[in-house]
Each structure stands twice: as C-alpha cells, then as structure tokens.
Amino acid sequence: MSINGMLTILMYALAPFRWLLIMGLIIIIALHLLTYRRGYKITHHRSRLTNLLALLIGLTAILWIPWLTHSTLGYVATVFDWIALLGAAAATSVMAFIILHPLSYLISFQDKE
Amino acid sequence: MQKSPLLTRRELLKVGSGLSVGSLLPFSGLSASTLRTQAHIVIVGGGAAGMAMVNRLARRLRGGTITLVEPRETHHYQPGWTMVASGIWAAERTTRLNAQFLPRGVKWLRDYADSIDADSKRITLVSGETLEYDFLIVASGIQLNYHLIDGMTPALVGQHGIGSVYAGIEGASRTNQAIQTWLQSGHGRGIFTAAPTPVKCAGAPLKMTFTTLSRLEDTGRRDAFDVDYMAPGASLFSQPWVDEFIKQRFDSQGVNRRHHYRLSAIDPQAKQAEFAFVGPESEFTSHHQLREAEFRRDDQPTVIADYDFLHVVPPMSAHDFVKQSALIAQDGPFRGEWLDVDIHTLQHNRYPEVFGIGDVIGAPINKTAASVKAQAPVVEENLLAVMQGNALPASHSGYTSCPMITGIGKAMLVEFGYADNFAFMPSFPFIDPTEESWAVWVMKDRMLQPAYYAVLEGKA
C-alpha cells in the first residue's frame, strides 16, 4: 500500500473524532502555554502524584480500551494483541502525563502564591 | 463465438493519437503513465468495484469520456451490515453519498441498466436512453433472488422472526431487532441458513451465527435457546482450514449442523421453514452452480422446521440484464448466472473490450470488498493495455479477505487466493490467520471502513 493510501485510511479513521482531537490539542497547547509563562519546564518540575496517576490511567486503559472497542480483555489473546494493547496503554499513560504534569505545576504554583 | 480482434484500426487510432504526447509534456501536470484517448468508457455499477474503477480511470485517462451508470445517491458500506445486524453499529455509520467519491469530469447517469447489446457495444437504460461504448466495465454487483424461496420477500425481514443481513441497511437493522425480540422471549429455536449459490461475503451468514451466539451467551440462559445451521453443501466456508475450524467451533458452541439442506419455502405466519434435502452427492455448496430451474425440482424430499428466529440467505446471481446479455457465461460452472471473465486478467472471455470486476464475475471465490481492492489495479492496467493494443500485463491472484468474526469482540483475519486449494495469503506477517484475535476485531471495527473508502478513491 502506498504512503498516500495509508494517509487516506488514517484520515478516514480519524474523521469521526476530528473535533474531539482538535479540542484536545487546543486544550493541551493552551495548558502548556499558560504554565510555561509561569516558569514551568517539563524537566524541572517533579510530581510523584502525577507520575502515579499517569501510570494508573495507563494500567486501567488495559481494561477499558478493549471495552471501548466492543470487546473484552479476555479476547486479547495473541502476542500481537498484547503488543497493540500495551502500546495503546503506554500512549494513554504518556497523554495523561502531558496533561497532568503541567496541571500539577499550576496547582503548586497557585499554592505558593 | 469467435474471439474478435482486440481493436479495429480506427479504434487504435482513436486511443493512440495522444499516447506519446501525453507522456512527453513535462509541465502538463500529468503523470507519465496517463493515456490520451478519445474512447468512451462506460462503467455499469457504482458500488465498491465501480467507484474504484471510476477514480482509477479518471486519474489515468486524458481526453476520453467516462460514464458511470449508477441509480443510487447513497453509497453503502456493506461490510458493515453484519455489525449493524449484530447490534454493534448504528445504521448511519455505513452510509455516505456517492457524490462524495465521484471525481470531476465523470458523467454520472442516475439510472438502471436495462440491457447490454455486446455485439453492438450498446447499453440501454431503464429510461430508454442508449449508450454506445468503446470499452465497458461491468461492476453491477449481485442480484438477491429472495423469490426463489417460496413465501419469502425482503419486506418480511424484521417480521415473524425473520432476519436477513443481506436485505439492505434497513434489512440489517430489522434483523437486529428480530434477534433482539428472540433474545427477549427468553427461549426458542433459531435457524441460520446458507444459500446454494455463490454469495457476496460468504462469511456473513457464519458471522451472524457467531455474533448471535455471543448475544445468547450474554443472556446467561444459553441452554434455553436452540441454534441450528442449515448448509446446502458439505462445507461451510471455502478455505479448508477455516471450514474445519468453524465446524469444530459450531459443535463446541452447541450449534446443530445439518448439511445438504437448502431453504426452499417459509410460512411466516406459522413461523415454519421448509428445507429441501439436496443430497450428499449434490454439488450444492456455495462454490458451485445452482441454476434457477433446479430450484423447482419436485423429487427432493423436504422437512418442515419450526423456528423462533430464521436468518435467510437468498440465492444470488448476476443481475437479470447481465444474465440476458451475451456477456453471461455460456458454459462451465458459472453458466447462465455470472459474467464470463478470465478469473486472472478479468477480461471478458469473448468480448475483449469488456472487463468485469466485483461480485458480478464468475469466480470460485472473490465476492468481497477486499477482492475489489486486489482486482481494481488489475482491471486498470489490463484495460489500458487493451486500449493501447498491448498484451495484458496484470494478473489477479484471487486474493480475498474475510475478517471472520467468531464472537462479538474477536475475529480471525482470513486472507486467501486461488492457488493451492485456497491457501492463506496473509498480508501481515505478525497476524496469524488461524488465531482468533482482539486486534483483528479492532481492524474490523475501526480500520477496514476507512480502508474501504481509500479503495473507492483508488488510493489503496
């Protein structure tokens, strides 16, 4: 399949979630812009709670991602199934971190003020 | 009939005048592989096959006329109908407008084809309009012959416990309601049938059985329901490994398999179905021919079965206007029922200016959207070769694919072709076609529909 073909498939696959994705992206960018203006740097800020929450969200994703796809964890059976599910769970964890980490900075920043 | 010369001198001149010129224009915006032509190409049918060909040819041809004959404004994603009939998808998810996929410059006639005069290269539409073509692509799909089951009409789907995933998107929705009504009754007998002819998406009747089994198990009262599967032949599926797998799975899930029976009549009011025993010596499998006259045999013993839910799979064939034309197969297993094409080149066996693609062709397998994906580039290349008077360069392997749903939430990616008794042809080395998989289910649920639309646009 050509690159163009793959992009077309991806475009159609994401089309129903277009506005959701755009809104999510806007929120993340706005959040990061807001926190960066108040001195946030991803490498400097430490938050154990954020790390734990992001990890938990990723772990629970192993349960709710199959449910979102009209399936159950019991049907995740092949090696490829597990790689795909763990990859999706890891991506969910990263996304949770990207949102929660600047939020935790914002909360601690307000507490300091 | 003798095979006529590929093209007359006049026709060769018609397509050849701009051939080299088109490919030598560096700033024309055309790719080197486009073909200048004055030819008129008619594509009958705007389903998956017809729409894919419209888009591919619109990109490859310059100067000619492409006419699409397709009466419907709405394009249906038919592979999604099993999901709708199983209560997983909303019906709206499977429809788009045909106009969304149609490239500019293509003439779209919103009409049905009424007849094809292959010797005169002329098509007559239901409106009376006639079209003359230089090249013809028959992509008219399949005709559902519910009338060959006495007492059955598509209007019955959704009533009296009758379902049929093939009866259009409304039929798929009503099938879901009929299954739901049966489930809510808390008990009873469901009979799933298969047709004694080739059918589109031959896995669909099996998928409907598996998804309904999932729903029955979810009620927590599986033992209160009886499930029968009535097959006209010895096999349930053309791919031998999958056939054996499904038989074992049916046995382990408490499905009563009965072979060599075809649904011959129904009495909707009494909720009774009549099955004709066609005999173990018959070739009434989904991969062999059964002509209309053979449905009327009086010497076949019949049995009457009561049902609470009945899934009807109608006998299928090419549309009547194809069957009544010279393009229909004259002999062999597809005679009188399907388009007569070479199953590898997809060129008509007697009319070289005619190609066939999709469900309409006479082929042992291949009535799936996945087959269209593999066939479309073959028809494109071979048609362009014929237009240039060249030998046919492309060959179809018979590739077809069926995401065999074995329960709501899991599926097997079954891909195979003509060779080695329908041996597997896996596209992905990391997906085993013999394993049930969640990831394959996700592909069916989320990715195959986008891939289908890419095929329509000629991009996959």
This model of the complex carries an ipTM of 0.87
Contact state of A2 with B409 under an 8 Å Cβ cutoff: no
pLDDT score at B281: 59
CB atoms within 10 A of CB B173: 20
Evaluate whether B449 touches B77 at the Cβ level (below 8 Å): yes
Q: CATH says B145-315 is which class?
A: alpha beta
- Please indicate if any CB of chain A lies within 8 Å of the CB of B410: yes
- Please indicate if any CB of chain A lies within 8 Å of the CB of B27: no
Instruction: Read off the pLDDT of residues B339-353 as tens digits, 9 standing for 90 and up.
Output: 999 999 999 999 999
Q: Of B374 and B290, which is predicted with more confidence? A: B374
Name the closest residue on chain A to residue B430, using Cα atoms: A80
- Please indicate if any CB of chain B lies within 8 Å of the CB of A85: yes
- Please indicate if any CB of chain A lies within 8 Å of the CB of B447: yes
Tell me how long chain B is. Answer: 460
**A109 pLDDT band (50/70/90 cuts)?**
confident
Which residue in the block uniquely carries the two structure tokens 């007559």? B124
Instruction: Read off the pLDDT of residues B218-233 as tens digits, 9 standing for 90 and up.
Output: 999 999 999 999 998 8
> How many Cα atoms are found within 13 Å in the side-chain-facing hemisphere of B35?
25
Chain B hits for A66, CB-CB cut-off 8 Å, are 409, 438
Chain A hits for B460, CB-CB cut-off 8 Å, are 1-2, 5, 8-9
Name the closest residue on chain B to residue A4, using Cα atoms: B459
* B16 has a pLDDT exceeding 50: no
Chain B hits for A2, CB-CB cut-off 8 Å, are 459-460
Contact state of B447 with A9 under an 8 Å Cβ cutoff: yes
Chain A hits for B432, CB-CB cut-off 8 Å, are 78
**B459 pLDDT band (50/70/90 cuts)?**
confident
Global confidence as pTM: 0.89
Q: How does strand B255-259 pair with strand B410-416? A: unpaired
In what helix (H) or strand (E) does residue B189 lie, and over which residues does it extend?
A: strand B188-193
Q: What are the residue boundaries of the structural domains of chain B, listed by start? A: 9-71+110-142+318-387, 145-315
- Structure tokens that stand for B33 in this block: 């592989």
DSSP string for residues in A80-111: HHHHHHHHHHHHHHHHHHHHHHHHHHHHHHHH
Instruction: Read off the pLDDT of residues B29-82 as tens digits, 9 standing for 90 and up.
Output: 334 489 999 999 999 999 999 999 999 999 999 999 999 999 999 999 999 999
Chain B hits for A11, CB-CB cut-off 8 Å, are 450
**Rounded-to-integer distance, Cα B4 and Cα B26, Å:** 37
**Rounded-to-integer distance, Cα B395 and Cα B381, Å:** 9
Asked if CATH classification 3.50.50.60 holds for the domain at B9-71+110-142+318-387, the reply, yes or no, is yes
Nearest residue to B361 (alpha-carbon basis) of B41, B115, B140, B54: B140
Evaluate whether B200 touches B194 at the Cβ level (below 8 Å): no
Q: Of B384 and B458, which is predicted with more confidence? A: B384
What is the share, in percent, of chain B residues with pLDDT greater than 90? 80
- Please indicate if any CB of chain A lies within 8 Å of the CB of B377: no
Q: Of B310 and A5, which is predicted with more confidence? A: B310
Helix and strand counts by DSSP (H, E) for chain B: 12, 24
**A17 pLDDT band (50/70/90 cuts)?**
confident
Contact state of B441 with A69 under an 8 Å Cβ cutoff: yes
Longest dimension (CA), chain B: 73
Evaluate whether B64 touches B38 at the Cβ level (below 8 Å): yes
Q: Of B18 and A24, which is predicted with more confidence? A: A24
Chain B hits for A10, CB-CB cut-off 8 Å, are 450
**B7 pLDDT band (50/70/90 cuts)?**
very low
Same topology for domains B9-71+110-142+318-387 and B145-315, yes or no?
A: yes
- Structure tokens that stand for B47 in this block: 């389903």
Distance set, CA B350 to CA B335, B341, B392 (Å): 14, 8, 15
- Please indicate if any CB of chain B lies within 8 Å of the CB of A81: yes
- Burial code (b: 16+ CB inside 10 Å, e: under 16) for A52-67 equals ebbeebbeebbeebbe
